[in-house]
């Protein structure tokens, strides 16, 4: 089968690896990261041009199945994939790693978006470690002057904000490194999206160990009519049932 895999995540790379021997897989990367980790097999870079562009690609390339293994917060891409799949009549499977679960000793403050996270910060702490990525970082300018902020991104945002200290790094991160970072900068509140997975979970363990509260941005909802799995191996089973 010819499979279009919307990727950019560790799960997407694992899906590509698992399918490589049995199917023709084209992994699509949005192109937002300059030096991404590449999956095995064919790779295309850049967007499709919205729903119409994706639908046209599915038709032109005679794609048999569409697998969305994008980041849990890539809500626009997921919505476009669902609509394009419906229009063309191509089966769609959504792969989403489970979200994080607070432990009994955790103090988590759940919010619906980045703007609400920024509003919540002054009531939770005075020195924040913001780990929500470069896109949307500007929302935290609303807390300027009330909260000192350290932001970590894989690549620098444009423009680079003057109201926070910026560090560039790519996970995975070790627990000891996260502990050192939180203590060195005297962080008293952590901000994160509920991305899930183990690659960046060490920051939550470090916050737990130091008794630091966490502001957690909830995941966006997914289309109700789309089939969803949580493990890359389940994609193999799903495709086997469609032969």
Diameter of the chain measured on Cα atoms = 59
Is the pTM of the predicted complex or chain greater than 0.75? yes
| pLDDT tens, residue order, the chain (243 aa) | 999 999 989 999 999 999 999 999 999 998 766 677 889 999 999 999 999 999 999 999 999 999 999 999 999 999 999 999 999 999 999 999 999 999 999 999 999 999 999 999 999 999 999 999 999 999 999 999 999 999 999 999 988 899 999 999 988 999 999 999 999 999 999 999 999 999 899 999 999 999 999 999 999 999 988 999 999 999 999 999 887
Q: Among all chains, which residue has been given the structure tokens 């991160």?
A: 173
What number of CA atoms fall less than 13 Å from residue 163's CA on the CB side?
14
Q: CATH second-level architecture of 108-217?
A: 3-Layer(aba) Sandwich (3.40)
Domain 2-98+220-240 has CATH 3.40.50.720: yes
DSSP state, residue 197:
S
Cα–Cα distance for residue pair 89/59, rounded to 1 Å: 10
CATH 3.40.50.720 in the chain is located at: 2-98+220-240, 108-217
């Amino acid at each position: 089968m010819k499979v279009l895999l919307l990727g950019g995540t560790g799960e997407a790379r694992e899906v590509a690896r698992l399918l490589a021997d049995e199917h023709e897989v084209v992994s699509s990367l949005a192109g937002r990261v300059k030096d991404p980790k590449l999956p095995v097999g064919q790779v295309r870079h850049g967007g499709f041009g919205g729903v119409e562009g994706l639908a046209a690609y599915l038709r032109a390339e005679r794609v048999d199945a569409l697998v969305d293994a994008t980041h849990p917060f890539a809500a626009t891409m997921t919505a476009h994939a669902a609509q394009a799949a419906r229009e063309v009549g191509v089966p769609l499977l959504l792969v989403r790693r489970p979200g994080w679960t607070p432990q009994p000793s955790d103090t988590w403050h759940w919010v619906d978006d980045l703007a609400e996270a920024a509003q919540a910060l002054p009531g939770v702490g005075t020195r924040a470690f913001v780990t929500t990525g470069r896109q949307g970082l500007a929302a935290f300018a609303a807390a300027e002057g009330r909260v000192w902020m350290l932001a970590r991104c894989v690549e620098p945002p444009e423009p680079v904000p003057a109201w926070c200290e910026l560090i560039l790094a790519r996970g995975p991160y070790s627990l000891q490194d996260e502990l050192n970072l939180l203590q060195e900068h005297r962080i008293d509140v952590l901000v994160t999206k509920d991305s899930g997975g183990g690659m960046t979970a060490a920051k939550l363990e470090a916050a737990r160990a130091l008794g630091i509260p966490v502001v957690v941005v909830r995941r966006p909802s997914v289309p109700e009519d789309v089939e969803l799995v949580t493990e890359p191996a389940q994609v193999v089973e799903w495709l086997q049932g469609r032969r």
